[in-house]
Amino acid sequence: MELTPFTLTVPQADIDDLHARLVRTRWPGPGGGKGWDRGVPLDYLQGLAAYWRDDFDWRHQEARLNAVPQFTTVVDGQTLHFLHARSPEPGAFPLVMTHGWPSSVIEFLDVVGPLTDPAAHSGDPADAFHLVIPSLPGFGLSTPSAGPGWGNLFRVSQAFAGIMAALGYERYGAQGGDVGAGVSGMLGMVDAERVAAVHITGPVPYPFGPPVDLDGLDAADAERARRFNEYQRDGLGYLHLQASRPQTLAYALNDSPVGQLAWIVEKFAEWTDPAKPLPDEAVDRDTLLANVSLTWFRGAGASSAHTTYEGMQAFREFVASAGGDGSTPPPPATPTAASVFAGDNSIRSIIDPSGAYARWTEYDRGGHFPALEAPDLLAEDVRAFFRDYR
């Protein structure tokens, strides 16, 4: 596997085109309703788009990303991009970290320093990691898609295992959330001899399974169950559309930056810390827009919709072959930890009824994007878990 150094430089013409499209936005009316009950409010999105157009500095974010060594490789015709941040500590443990949707490797930039060089961040040098942070196929810098089939997480995990082997890592850990949690868990199966342990964030029941019964749950789990049931009723529109008609959606995501902005920002509004009402209160505004911008410049809104379609098709086939409704996942094949943040809907009695997880930790802040919302908590949880598996 040939590994090629990579530096991101978005052509100025693409930045100018983005600004011109933002100026020419054809805005709809406010649509009625209150707050966010019909989607992203017009006044909020107009303000965010104006900031994106007039004040956001893409070149600064680009330089921030390029400060971490990057590489590309080709697997089965698909270009795969990854960050590779090596620790200065000789005994550092290799860790592959995988993002989810709608995100990119930018999600992990705030934890690169604390995890690779804990001594410089009030930590123990013995907890250091060498980090490999891939862009999922069809996302961010692993675009364009070479063809169908890269939404299958089994195929993705095999490719990532190949990258770790090419880097010379004979034993390593895996960490991720959302889609990245699925990839991390599968790495523990497809590369079982080399994956020492797996750490995931925010595991949830299969979204198309039955609603969660609140009877017998304590107050914290009952609140998570209530949110999950509400998500099933009112929050699955994006998933139904991407899992059934991705090409129809692709035209809007690939042509309208404001359309793509709304599509992504709505998820940050719904999935981040409930104590932070607005997306750019839960996540730094410039970092949020850096993620959106990378998705825009690479046309990844459309391609990631297609990978969602393929991933859901593969997952439904898996659920059907396994029997049942998929609401209770199988126990992990590798020692696994779960960290649950304030915005997560993870209920241990459902996710882990047999107590098979090696560690389960719940926090009172953060949400679906903990590396962006609570990087200190995530970094310490990862350090603490892997101490026993280095």
Residue 338 pLDDT class (50, 70, 90 cuts) = very high
For 335-351, give the DSSP string.
-EEEEE-TT----HHHH
Cβ pair 312, 74 in contact under 8 A = no
**Range of weakest confidence among 12-21, 207-216, 312-321, 371-380:** 312-321
**Between helices 257-271 and 285-297, what is the axis angle to 10°?**
130
- The token pair at 318 is 């898996």
Q: Is 344 exposed, middle or buried (0-12, 13-18, 19+ CB in 10 A)?
A: buried
Query: What are the Cα distances from residue 221, in Å, to 59, 108, 351?
Result: 43, 28, 12
The pLDDT assigned to 55 comes to: 98
pLDDT, mean over the chain: 95
- CA dist 34 and 41 (Å) reads 8
Residue 324 pLDDT class (50, 70, 90 cuts) = low
Residue 77 has pLDDT above 80, yes or no: yes
**Range of weakest confidence among 177-186, 268-277, 291-300, 308-317:** 308-317
The pLDDT assigned to 18 comes to: 98
Name the more confident of 163 and 324.
163
Q: Which long-range contacts (CB under 8 A, 24 or more apart) does 358-367 make?
A: 358/197, 358/385, 359/384, 359/385, 361/337, 362/220, 363/339, 365/273, 365/275, 365/341, 366/273, 366/341, 366/342, 367/202, 367/271, 367/272, 367/273, 367/274, 367/282, 367/341, 367/342, 367/343
The pLDDT assigned to 314 comes to: 87
Largest CA distance in the chain: 59
The pLDDT assigned to 140 comes to: 97
Residue 320 has pLDDT above 80, yes or no: no
Q: Could you give the 3-state DSSP secondary structure of residue 299?
A: coil
Helix (H), strand (E) at residue 173: strand 172-177
**Mean pLDDT for the stretch of residues 281-302:** 98
**Mean pLDDT for the stretch of residues 170-187:** 97
